[in-house]
Chain A
Amino acid sequence: MAENDNYSGMVDGINGLIDRQIFSNEKIYSIELEKVFTRSWLLVGHETQIPSNGDFITSRMGAESVILCRDSNGKIHVFLNTCTHRGMKVCLYDEGNTATFTCPFHAWSFATDGKLVGVPHEKELYSKSLNKEKWSLIEVSQMFNYKGSIWATWDKSAPNFIEYLGGAKAHLDFALDSLDGSEGGTEVFGGVHKWISPCNWKVPAENFCGDSYHNVSHISVDMVGIGPSAGSGEKGRRDNELADAQHLWISFPGGHGIHSAMKPANNEYIEAYKDNPIVEEYYRHCYQERELKLGERARIVPFVGTIFPNTSFHGRQPRALCSWHPNGPQSSQISRFFLVDKVAPKEVKDLVRRYYMRYAGPAGMTEQDDMENWNQATASCSGAIARRFPFNYQQSMGDYKINDPVPGMVSTQMTEENARQFYKCWASYMESQDWKKIMSHPAQTALGNDT
């Protein structure tokens, strides 16, 4: 099936059937790197990871290493981490501060704005041939600093980031804005989770785009209770701040899938973070401030989401941005940084930091169980017999409304619609469709309203 390039056929949203080969086939994987990851907007990092001029971190776009750095004038850049001469990595470090990136191989040297500034024996060896202007580090085609989070794409013709986000922006904001509703104001904790998980990158991306059906897989952690009020006897993996809210599963043009919730009109605060009174007070105060600032809009509260293709976020418990980097058809390299309000008191930062650690990632009690499931689900897709049988994506077929009660393609019951739309968008990239087609979606009018 992978041989005929009929990607739309592999992801049959009408009948709710997805071909397992898209999670295992080597050829499909290599085409994804070419057609999905060179065009879509990818998360690279966060500006608070590089606060001073000359600061850098290394990150990844698709399967390739990139450098995120702040040049000597304070401008942020994203470069491919490869020497333009012979390809060696010009930066070997996870983070640091530098005036230049000097290649260890032949010592070509690049300034933090990417310009080639040093070529050993330049006069003797290159005076007749080399135009240094043309051999800068390879820089992304578009970069965007969205409330501190840094995104980039290799496609000049891609819609700008805000247009690309469309209606999903309002939901990503929950992770990036301060809890009291003011714009931005979040920072990243030091320490980035980076690990390798034997799953296809689309499995966790889909998991975060609204697969609430997998809730049952976390029963062990719900039974023991690890949330920010667990010390006060609360069960569950998080405080149930959404207890009285209507959950919303929302798909947006561009393949983004969001799971948020809407509080009742009276929008009452539900007590949370009870293990420390200072922290409880901070969340209560922020909740009230947010309602004053945002009014009716404050009724929408965050849960999770995936910005196509491979960036996911947790809006609150635990608040983080995560990239599922492709690392082979059956392997992902994952990186995640965690967010907190810059102005939050030390008690808040300390409590949420410890909560994030026990919840998320390979050492986290909740996500460990995800990892096991993502691993085995991926492994099944290479079976000669198993791969003849598509996965079932028929949950809540047709049960959605457009722009009701919020913008987007909205379901008020658990649904796999977000996943169906995610894969439909994936097929458009795989078939080299133009941006108009990629962004076409049942809720397209919502995009128009939002941008």
Chain B
Amino acid sequence: MNDLGAKNKVRRDDYYYRLKQEIEEFLYDEAELLDQRNFREWLDILSDDLIYFMPIRRNVKFGTHNEKENTREGYDISWFEEDKWTLSKRIDQIYTGKHWAEEPLSRVSRMITNIQLQNVKPTMQEPCEVGIKSRFLIYQNRSETECNSFYGKRSDILRLESGVWKLIRREIILDQNILMAKNLSIFF
């Protein structure tokens, strides 16, 4: 167990690593579903009460980052503040074959790294809910030569529902101020 781990108050013992491996597999499977464009299967791993949130990020004075850097869930206009219903609408839109921002479909590869567990409830031995921090690097190529790279951080919460992990919360921190891509037409 290292010092950083101690600060995060999660004991890095065998149970931690065993659970981490399971969670990593979940996240890689999820990325695979999206990269392979199995969007409707992806919906199945989302809990019915999912919150999917991506704030807009501002340049603010040192010392005011905590309160001012990101737009607020529940109050402000953000890039995304979605639930499972709106995400399913986004997927239905792709399936019309007339959603020109994703027709023809983008080529997308998602790399998920720096996975660390946090706030495992109730216990590491018998977890029902897991908080996860990770980083993403997403490469999008569409049409002929259009490329976008999205780098950032994710904070996820997974919950065990009828013995299956489901995503109940995803906060996506995209490391951009003025969005440099013309669209956010992919899932994060």
Specify the chain B residue showing the minimal Cβ separation from A373. Answer: B100
- Give residues of chain B (148-188) contacting chain A, Cβ–Cβ below 8 Å: 177-185
Please give the distance in Å from B171's CB to the nearest CB on chain A: 15
How many inter-chain contacts with C-beta < 8 Å in the A-B complex?
130
Residues of B within 8 Å of A361, CB to CB, are 79
Cβ B61 vs Cβ A372 within 8 A: no
Interface size on A, residues (CB 8 A): 45
Chain A neighbourhood of B60, CB < 8 A: 93-96
Determine, out of A224-232, A386-394, A410-418, the stretch whose residues face the partner at the interface: A224-232
Number of residues from B at the complex interface, CB < 8 A? 43
Dominant secondary structure of chain B at its interface with chain A: loop
Per-residue A-contact encoding for B69-95, CB less than 8 Å = 1, 0 else: 001101111111110011001101100
- Across the interface, B81 reaches (CB within 8 A) one of A219, A225, A354, namely A354
> Which of A110-118, A186-194, A305-313, A440-448 contacts its partner?
A186-194
Name the residue among B102, B180, B183 with the largest chain A CB count within 10 angstroms. B183
Nearest-neighbour CB distance to chain B for A23, whole angstroms, equals: 16
Q: Which residue of A lies closest to B85 (CB)?
A: A231
Q: Which of B77, B97, B183 has the most CB of A within 10 A?
A: B77
Chain A neighbourhood of B82, CB < 8 A: 357-358
Residues of B within 8 A of A230 (CB): 89
- A96 contacts across to B, CB distance below 8 A: 60-61, 64, 68
Q: What is the minimal beta-carbon distance from A214 to any residue of chain B, in angstroms?
A: 11
Contact among A92, A192, A356 with B59 in the assembled complex (CB-CB below 8 Å): A92
**Is A245 an interface residue when CB atoms closer than 8 A count as contact?**
no
Contact A190 B72 (CB under 8 A): yes
- List A contacts of B75 (CB < 8 A): 189-190
Q: Tell whether A170 is near chain B: CB-to-CB under 8 Å.
A: no
**CB-based closest 4 A-B pairs:** A191-B77, A368-B101, A190-B76, A191-B76
Can you report 24 A-B residue pairs in the complex whose CB atoms are below 8 A from each other? A94-B60, A94-B177, A190-B76, A190-B77, A191-B55, A191-B77, A191-B78, A194-B56, A194-B178, A195-B179, A195-B180, A195-B181, A196-B181, A221-B93, A221-B99, A226-B89, A354-B81, A356-B77, A362-B79, A362-B183, A365-B93, A368-B101, A371-B183, A372-B183
